[in-house]
Amino acid sequence: MQWITEKYVNFASIIDDATLAQNRMTSSMPFVYPHFASMPDAHLGLGCAVGSVLPTLGAIIPAAVGVDIGCGMVAVRTDYTADDVARLERRALWVAIERSVPLSAGNNNKRLSASARPRIESLEQDAHSAGFDPASYVRDWRLQLGTLGSGNHFIEVSLDEQHDVWLFLHSGSRGIGNRIAQRHIRAAQDYCAQRSVTLPHQDLAYLEEGTPEFDRYIAELMWAQRFALLNREEMMDRVVRQFSDWVGKPVEERERINCHHNYTQREKHYGKDVWLSRKGAIAADPGRPGLIPGSMGTGSYVVTGRGNREALDSAPHGAGREYSRNAARRTFTQEQLRAAMRGIEFRDTPAFLDEIPAAYKDIDAVMEDARDLVEIRHTLRQIINVKGD
């Protein structure tokens, strides 16, 4: 931990100058209280760096929440072990998961599944209560529930240090959440421009509490966060069913953890109620279970929060990029990706070259930086990886 300024504390041992400069700029906003914190996986982002924990009084910066509202992780510890699945063909489960969950940007369900219907009905009621129609953003938003997306989103089957089988999944609010986020980022820019607010960067535009613009953002933000959580639940239910079919027996869920890492909520810190925006960070208050994934070829972690005050009860959300996607494609080869994924069932395609583990920070270094933020309960190693290109 290092205090960069009176308003900015940094927990990352691996961090570049551009990200430090971006964090200083964000922490200088007048409504930041008590201070800004950057997590061990921090890296350059839109307006606000990824790996940011931003507490604010009376205002929210929509870009500091991010465009994938509610993005996060869900994991299930099953009642099966490595011995139970050792003789089964992994490719068969990989294919079944790909058929069950629509992958890649723009791919939706063709129809609502039976498990999706009650979740959709609940979201429809929530949207009505929030006073908006999600179809004004995306006409077929209902068909996006239960879809993965692309980029660093994934579905994995993993083994922990005790050889228990875990099902692990990373995704968010899909196209509907992105549209909502983009709309309110622009609304914040318009809001500040109309009031002649001088900003260090246009993506640090904010909405002030007590205004109609703020109220509408909060209502739609909370809806998108719930969509993201239910999206992960829907996908995980499908993965559990496919795994059950694969092993030929029902699955007993020993544990299920579902946590956001791009979101805002009300919390109390240093004696005041603040809006706490975590962009690429998980809540890690004392005893809270959490999930910290590595990259597609490295370990992931099941953790418990330690409640670090300076970190505002937060922890990293993953490894964090060291190479941009374009830089990764220029730097690494398909052979290097195959070597990194040896022993893991995955789709062998150049489309995933920008997701090669070497494009990310060393997850072990990130977790060492996070030793005062979380306690590691389980270390997971994947045997199957499913991604959208």
pLDDT of residue 52: 97
The pTM assigned to this predicted structure is: 0.95
Digit-coded pLDDT (tens) for 78-90: 999 999 999 999 9
pLDDT of residue 23: 96
- Cα–Cα distance measured from residue 190 to residue 200, given in angstroms and rounded to the nearest whole number: 15
Q: How many CB atoms lie within 10 A of CB 288?
A: 18
317 is catalytic: yes
Ranges of residues in the chain with a pLDDT under 50 are none
pLDDT of residue 46: 81
Digit-coded pLDDT (tens) for 353-381: 999 999 998 899 999 999 999 999 999 99
User: Comparing C-alpha atoms, which of 105, 101, 75 is closest to residue 293?
Assistant: 75
- 51: phi then psi, degrees, rounded to nearest 5: 90, 30
Evaluate whether 155 touches 369 at the Cβ level (below 8 Å). Answer: no
Residue 146: half-sphere exposure toward Cβ, Cα within 13 Å: 25
Q: What are the structural domain ranges in the chain?
A: 2-386
pLDDT of residue 214: 98
pLDDT of residue 105: 83
For the chain, what percent of residues have pLDDT higher than 70? 100
314: three-class secondary structure by DSSP: strand
> Out of 184, 260, 317, 378, which one is annotated catalytic?
317
∠ CA 147-151-153, rounded to 5°: 50
Buried b (16+ CB within 10 A) or exposed e, 216-229: bbbbbbbbbbbbbb
Determine if residue 357 is left, alpha or beta; phi over 0 gives left, psi from -120 to 50 gives alpha, anything else beta. alpha
pLDDT of residue 321: 86
pLDDT of residue 106: 83
- Cα–Cα distance measured from residue 147 to residue 212, given in angstroms and rounded to the nearest whole number: 32
Which CATH architecture is the domain 2-386 placed in?
Alpha-Beta Complex (3.90)
